[in-house]
């Protein structure tokens, strides 16, 4: 397998390692991810996260497994990986690409996994450049969850657009939602903003409405885990709330994602499977600092990992293949492959 390196995933001499995102920003710790069991544990805990990165890491793990177990049932392993995160379609895309190489053997699978990794870098750069073109000097941009280099093989999706704009000299202020349940915004996006040198302010998710009412938000940019044929999309829970608020306050609302996030087989948001997560994530929080609980240990919890934003609330879909408005979505232009 070729040596590969991204901000939170790397392959060296065939060994796969990931940066444990649950320990950021306090500690940068790398761990092996050479087996399907290790991958599933890391993805379930959100140590590996971000729709593109989940798919890419699965492809790499499956390729390594095939090389080490040439007589195994690779399809069964692929099915087990696929079931780990049902909402993000990037995982399905990568595993489908790997499945198409089964007949050619382990070497072809390793090569295809490396190609997917390189492709994601290119997709990130293209969509980031398109998104950056929509940002102007002095913009205050609100973002949700984490969509930067930690979540992809490249510069990121929504945060990638902010990064490219900043590199071009566009002055920005970014409002970072803390993002429940594991505070991906507070722990990861704030860390990435500081690393990029982009001025930012961290807010609780429930503060976004007041911020918009005060006229302090010019644009909202978020990522996506699955975009449907009609333009509805799933993203980290809390995104739909932002879209409703943006519509009320007339704030442009953009979704930034690669073409691999578009699912032509999914007609609308009603068809997207929504993952339910561990109730303990809402009763408290865990991280490099340890475990903290703030609710009764047996408190009933509803904990969907994602919500669905209807297409009518989206100003534009920023993909690597183009920037699409509602009329484009109605014609299905966003489903065209590069």
Residue 66 labelled as part of a binding site = no
Residue 287 clears pLDDT 80, i.e. is over it: no
Axis crossing angle, helix 106-132 with helix 51-68, rounded to the nearest 10: 170
Maximum alpha-carbon separation in the chain: 62
The yes-or-no verdict on residue 1 having pLDDT over 80 is: no
Q: What is the pLDDT of residues 206-265, one digit of tens each?
A: 999 999 999 999 999 999 999 999 999 999 999 999 999 999 999 999 999 999 999 999
- Tokens 């009609």 correspond to 230
Q: Of these residues, 120, 225, 232, 263, which one is catalytic?
A: 225
**Percentage of the residues of the chain whose pLDDT score is greater than 70:** 99
- pLDDT tens track for 307-326: 999 999 999 999 999 999 99
Architecture per CATH, 134-335: 3-Layer(aba) Sandwich (3.40)
The mean pLDDT of 77-91, rounded to a whole number, is 96
295 contacts: CB under 8 Å, gap ≥ 6: 282, 283, 284
The encoded tokens of residue 291 equal 């475990």
Q: Are 113 and 1 in contact (CB under 8 A)?
A: yes
Q: Which of 153, 87, 57 has the alpha carbon at shortest distance from 304?
A: 87
The overall average pLDDT reported for the chain is: 96
Report DSSP state, residue 263: -
Q: Answer whether the bond into residue 132 is a cis peptide, omega within 30°.
A: no
User: Is 225 one of the catalytic residues?
Assistant: yes
Segment 61-82 mean pLDDT:
97
pLDDT of residue 247: 98
Whether residue 267 is annotated as binding a ligand: the answer is no
What's the pLDDT score for residue 24? 94
CATH code 3.40.50.10470 region(s) in the chain: 134-335
If one looks up domain 4-124 in CATH, what number appears? 1.20.120.420
Averaged over 284-292, what is the pLDDT?
78
34 labeled binding residue: no
pLDDT mean over 90-119: 97
**Any known ligand binding at 223?**
no
> Which residue from 198, 189, 184, 195 is spatially nearest to 135, judged by alpha carbons?
198
pLDDT surpassing 80 at residue 126? yes
Tell me whether residue 80 is annotated as binding: no
Comparing CA positions, the residue from 87, 76, 92, 85 lying closest to residue 42 is 85
Percent of the chain with pLDDT over 90: 94
Return residue ranges of the chain for CATH 1.20.120.420: 4-124
* Residue 236 assigned as binding residue: yes
CA distance between the termini of the chain = 26
Output the pLDDT for position 288. 67
Q: Are 238 and 179 in contact (CB under 8 A)?
A: yes
Q: Are 150 and 50 in contact (CB under 8 A)?
A: yes
Q: Which residues contact 116 (CB under 8 A, 6 or more apart)?
A: 55, 56, 59, 94, 97
* Strands 200-203 and 172-177, bridge-based pairing: parallel
Give the pLDDT score at 9: 98
Average pLDDT over residues 94-109: 97
pLDDT tens track for 133-174: 999 999 999 999 999 999 999 999 999 999 999 999 999 999
Please compute the mean of the pLDDT values over residues 26-31 and round it to a whole number.
96
Q: Is 111 annotated as a binding residue?
A: no
């Amino acid at each position: 397998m070729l040596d590969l390196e991204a901000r939170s995933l790397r392959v060296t001499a065939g060994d796969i390692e990931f940066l444990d995102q649950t320990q950021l920003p306090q500690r940068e710790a790398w761990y092996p991810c050479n087996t399907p069991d290790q991958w599933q544990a890391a993805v379930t805990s959100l140590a590996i996260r971000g729709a593109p990165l989940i798919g890419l890491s699965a492809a790499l793990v499956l390729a390594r497994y095939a090389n080490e177990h040439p007589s195994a049932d690779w399809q069964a392993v692929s099915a087990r990986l696929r079931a780990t995160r049902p909402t993000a379609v990037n995982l399905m895309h990568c595993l489908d690409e790997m499945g198409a190489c089964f007949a050619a053997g382990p070497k072809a699978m390793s090569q295809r996994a490396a190609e997917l990794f390189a492709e994601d870098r290119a997709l990130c750069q293209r969509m980031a450049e398109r998104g950056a073109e929509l940002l102007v000097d002095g913009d205050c941009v609100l973002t949700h969850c984490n969509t930067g280099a930690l979540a992809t093989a490249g510069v990121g999706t929504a945060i990638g657009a902010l990064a490219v704009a900043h590199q071009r000299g566009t002055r920005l202020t970014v409002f970072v939602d803390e993002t429940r349940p594991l505070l991906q915004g507070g722990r990861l996006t704030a860390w990435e903003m500081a690393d990029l040198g982009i001025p930012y302010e961290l807010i609780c998710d429930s503060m976004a409405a007041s911020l918009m009412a005060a006229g302090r938000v010019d644009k909202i940019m978020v990522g996506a885990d699955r975009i449907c044929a009609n333009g509805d999309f799933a993203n980290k829970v809390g995104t739909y709330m932002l879209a409703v608020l943006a519509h009320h306050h007339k704030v442009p609302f953009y979704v930034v994602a690669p073409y691999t996030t578009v699912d032509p087989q999914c007609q609308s948001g009603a068809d997207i499977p929504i993952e339910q997560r561990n109730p303990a994530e809402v009763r408290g929080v865990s991280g490099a600092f340890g475990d903290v609980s703030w609710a009764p240990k047996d408190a009933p919890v509803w904990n969907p990992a994602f919500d669905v934003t209807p297409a009518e609330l989206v100003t534009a879909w920023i993909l690597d293949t183009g920037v699409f408005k509602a009329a484009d979505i109605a014609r299905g232009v966003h489903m065209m492959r590069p």
